Amino acid sequence: MTEKVYIKLSVDELTFDEMIDIQEGNLRKAKSILVKFAADEKGKRLDEAAANEAIGKLNLSQMKAVFADFGAQVQSEMNETLPNGRGPR
């Protein structure tokens, strides 16, 4: 098992429904989503069992860091996807 959980977001694998689950704060669903993107320190994806175990053993401060990393990656992708200004009214 890896010492630290890293997240390597793939926008082709994250669905809109998964984004809603995360935004609604469903931690069990968020865990299963993060398992898909868990990686080691070299960026290599962890297999599902190892990722599930590693994420399940995170303490609160580690979980906060993982969510912050994941959120930053999502925000970066959203900034490239969504228009910058408000649309027509």
- How many separate domains does the chain show? 1
For residue 75, tell me if it sits in a domain: yes
Cβ-in-10-Å burial (0-12, 13-18, 19+) of 85 comes to exposed
HSE, CB side, 13 Å, CA atoms: give it for residue 52.
6
pLDDT, mean over the chain? 86
Q: Which of the four pLDDT bands, split at 50, 70 and 90, describes residue 26?
A: confident
For residue 1, tell me if it sits in a domain: no
Residues 69 and 7 sit within 8 Å (Cβ to Cβ): yes
- pLDDT exceeds 80 at position 53: yes
For residue 72, tell me if it sits in a domain: yes
SS (HEC) of 7-67 = ECCCCCCCCHHHHHHHHCCCHHHHHHHHHHHEECCCCCECCHHHHHHHHHCCCHHHHHHHH
**So what's the pLDDT on residue 75?**
87
For residue 20, tell me if it sits in a domain: yes
Q: What is this structure's pTM?
A: 0.76
**So what's the pLDDT on residue 85?**
54
For residue 30, tell me if it sits in a domain: yes
**So what's the pLDDT on residue 22?**
86
What is the mean predicted confidence (pLDDT) over 37-56? 94
**So what's the pLDDT on residue 2?**
46
